[in-house]
Structure 1
Amino acid sequence: MENVKKFADWLTKWFTLIVIVWAIFNYFVPQTSIWGKAYTGYLLGIVLFGMGLTLTLDDFKRILTQPLMVVVGTVAHFIIMPLIAVLLCWIFRLDGPLAVGVILVGCCPSGTSSNVMSYLSRGDVALDVSIGILSTLCAPFMIPLLMQWLASQYVAVPVASLFLNAVKVVLFPIALGVICHMIFGKKIEKVTVALPIVSQVAILLIIGVVVAANGPKLFVASSLMAIPVVILHNLSGYALGFGFSKLMYKVYPKGFRYAQQKAITFEVGMQDSALGATLALTSFASNPIAAVPSTFFSVWHNISGSILSSWWRNHDDRHEIHWDSDNGEKGSAKNADASSEHAFDADKKAKAAAK
């Protein structure tokens, strides 16, 4: 089991590079993954079943114990990212299936990668996970609603198909995973060690299918236009997510402190691009190019998230900002250490006096 964990850690560390190499390989050898086009829904179902296996009732209770931050973070995600997508489609004059693909990835819930980035940046991982759970559970309802509102000007949006496919690949697998966790309890922990491997392999297969299905269309001028759009989409999500959380700190400073601001930044800016690609391939099957923005997003947001989390951690260390500071005050780490040392000395004196 230790070897499995080591391999999972290695795969996570190099996942972005592996994605790039795998995508290039499938571009030149499309028959490697094209067979999986009919199974993308099942592949994503496996990923979300694994997510359900890791969840307990405490994870859902956490949403109820801090509802304001979780709900506000989720609402911000479903407002900011879809509207940025529409604005970028207008600025870059995207049309047809490619515009639909950009809006679709913008309407998706936050991705599990955001949990890792929040952890690496010393953000509030518990809040990050809670927003991720709620946004994912809302996805089958929010995606068709937002797509009908924002993307129907480009193509006819199959609302019923989007809803049914989202329910099948999102709600059912998660619910089944949670039920299995409730039934088997701690026995599940032996399985969860391998879940990162299973999830990442499934995501790789989905990406391989998208690249193989689009082949010659992938690097024409119209498709390549999706690359700067995806980059700006993701970076704008980070910027507006952070700006929004800073604004909320002024309204409710107790709940939207520095660690929570980091969590909301990643939750807004990072998308479940695997879900976007799967829904594009199933609900817009006649236009597989709609899955291309999700594939580009999958590669890019892992790169940008890693860079941002690393920069944030180094920035905090350089300016001595404590991870649990109110609003990222410089020198708060030094003050926290001094406060801890003072409390320790006071405790020592109290014990000595008691003797």
Structure 2
Amino acid sequence: MSANGTNITSCPCNETGGLEEQGLGNDTLSLVFSVTLSVMLALVVFSLGCIVEAGKLWSHLRRPWGIGVGLMCQFGIMPLAAYLLAIAFSVKPAQAIAILIMGCCPGGSMSNIFTFWVDGDMDLSLSMTSCSTILALGMMPLCLFLYSRSWELANSINIPYYNIGITLLSLVVPISGGVLINYKWPKVAKLISKVGALIGVVLIVGIGMASSILYEGSWNTDLSILAIGIIFPLIGYISGFLMALLIRQPWKRCRTIAFETGAQNVQMCSTMLQLSFTPQQLVQMFTFPLIYGSFQLVNGFLLVAAYQLYKRRCKSLCEEKIQDLSKMCTKTNQRAVGGETNATFEHEEATVHSGMDNIPKAGQISQGSCILNSL
């Protein structure tokens, strides 16, 4: 059982032949992928915990403004968006239920990885993931009850409380270990976090390979389902960012809440479908989590790439500004008479050193550069 935000678990209904025709067979290969990627995910979550400071984590829990905004997006915007998309595209009832369940599943560990890559607030990201998983025990049944009454199939939905508990455990234990390492051995924690970032890249690539190999036939679906799978993650990313911006959260938190909203827990959705519906119904329903999970990765990668390009450009402009200031100081120094530095030079030199001290580092450039506003 993986806490990952992308499903790689084979459906247990292959003996009927229905899902196997959709490319969902090969239980052995699926098990190998599932175990391997679950171990890698645990290592990534542990490495992310190594950059979390216990004091900052406690401050988020003590004053949960950021957490509250994120939870409002996860259990407010996403279920409503799922319901409206299902109605707007007039999908079949079974497909509509799959879309709605996807919208009710809070963010998984993919959101933590993306947040790390965009220099987001890791303390907020990990605390949000843990809190949303706990609240899912009550909020998922409530959201499904409110939005699913339009379809009769909703009466057979089973909430996987056991799986939610396992997901929470797989988050809390590695995070706690990482926080402890960072507290006692900060230098070791920095090294572990760098290794974890590389493992995260391998993990994303592995998930993509697993999806393409195990579920190749699942892409043969209605265009409406494909369109929703592409649009829905983007709605989550954009709405989460705009909501955080509207409530005047810092830029770093805006990016964090955006990924926590759009990167849903696809594993949890797939588990609920498998526990609740017949193999014949799953043939229509099981495709959507795969499509959503694939495009939440694609869209997330595009957003990360855009941010990294912006950060490099901003850093380049900062370096150019410092070079210009240095040239100004050199010229002023050359104009000094009798080896004495005039007051103008002293003022400009102090300005330059002050500016250099305040130059954002690579991980801080997004929080407000000396030239451009942050994202």
TM-score tier (shorter): 0.5 to 0.7
Which residues of 2 match residues 165-176 of structure 1 at below 5 A? 165-174=162-171
* Code of the aligned partner of 1:281: Q
2:72 is paired with a residue whose SS is helix
Report the counterpart of residue 101 of structure 2 in structure 1: 104
2:264 is paired with a residue whose SS is coil
Which residues of 2 match residues 154-165 of structure 1 at below 5 A? 154=151, 155-158=153-156, 161-165=158-162
Could you tell me which runs of 5 or more consecutive residues in structure 1 were left unpaired when the two chains were aligned: 1-15, 20-25, 250-255, 323-329, 349-355
1:156 is paired with a residue whose SS is helix
Query: Is 1:237 equivalent to 2:232 in the alignment?
Result: no
What is the CA deviation profile of residues 108-154 of structure 1, one whole-angstrom value per residue up to 9, with x for unaligned ones?
A: 11132222322322332332222222212222322222112212322
| Pair 1:284–1:48, CA change in 2 (3 A) | farther
Which residues of 2 match residues 12-23 of structure 1 at below 5 A? none
**In structure 2, how many angstroms separate the alpha carbons of the residues matched to 1:61 and 1:220?**
47
Report the counterpart of residue 22 of structure 1 in structure 2: none
| Pair 1:210–1:63, CA change in 2 (3 A) | farther
What is the CA deviation profile of residues 52-85 of structure 1, one whole-angstrom value per residue up to 9, with x for unaligned ones?
A: 7665893863532441111221222211111111
Query: Is 1:270 equivalent to 2:256 in the alignment?
Result: no
Alignment equivalent of 2:123, drawn from 126, 129, 146: 126
Asked whether the 8 Å contact 1:44–1:275 carries over to 2, the reply is: no
Alignment equivalent of 1:32, drawn from 8, 26, 39: 26
**In structure 1, how many angstroms separate the alpha carbons of the residues matched to 2:91 and 2:127?**
34
Asked whether the 8 Å contact 1:241–1:265 carries over to 2, the reply is: yes
Query: Is 1:71 equivalent to 2:64 in the alignment?
Result: no
Query: Is 1:116 equivalent to 2:113 in the alignment?
Result: yes
Asked whether the 8 Å contact 1:46–1:199 carries over to 2, the reply is: no
**In structure 1, how many angstroms separate the alpha carbons of the residues matched to 2:355 and 2:41?**
50
**In structure 2, how many angstroms separate the alpha carbons of the residues matched to 1:267 and 1:285?**
31
**In structure 1, how many angstroms separate the alpha carbons of the residues matched to 2:307 and 2:176?**
37
Percent pairwise identity: 21
2:155 is paired with a residue whose SS is coil
Q: Quote the offset at 1:204 in angstroms.
A: 7.2
**In structure 2, how many angstroms separate the alpha carbons of the residues matched to 1:45 and 1:60?**
25
What is the CA deviation profile of residues 13-58 of structure 1, one whole-angstrom value per residue up to 9, with x for unaligned ones?
A: xxx9xx9xxxxxx978654238869x98x99987886687665893
Query: Is 1:258 equivalent to 2:262 in the alignment?
Result: no
Larger fraction in helix: 1
Which residues of 2 match residues 253-332 of structure 1 at below 5 A? 256-286=249-279, 287-288=281-282, 289-318=284-313, 320=314
| Pair 1:283–1:47, CA change in 2 (3 A) | farther
Could you tell me which runs of 5 or more consecutive residues in structure 2 were left unpaired when the two chains were aligned: 1-5, 9-19, 326-347, 358-375
**Which TM-score applies when normalising by structure 2?**
0.62
Report the counterpart of residue 7 of structure 1 in structure 2: none
Q: Which has the larger radius of gyration?
A: 2
Asked whether the 8 Å contact 1:140–1:170 carries over to 2, the reply is: no
Q: Quote the offset at 1:300 in angstroms.
A: 0.7
* Code of the aligned partner of 1:342: T
* Code of the aligned partner of 1:305: G
**In structure 2, how many angstroms separate the alpha carbons of the residues matched to 1:36 and 1:110?**
23
Which residues of 2 match residues 86-101 of structure 1 at below 5 A? 86-101=83-98
Report the counterpart of residue 342 of structure 1 in structure 2: 351
Q: How many residues align?
A: 301
**In structure 1, how many angstroms separate the alpha carbons of the residues matched to 2:181 and 2:174?**
11
**In structure 1, how many angstroms separate the alpha carbons of the residues matched to 2:240 and 2:250?**
14
2:215 is paired with a residue whose SS is helix
**In structure 2, how many angstroms separate the alpha carbons of the residues matched to 1:121 and 1:343?**
29
* Code of the aligned partner of 1:102: I
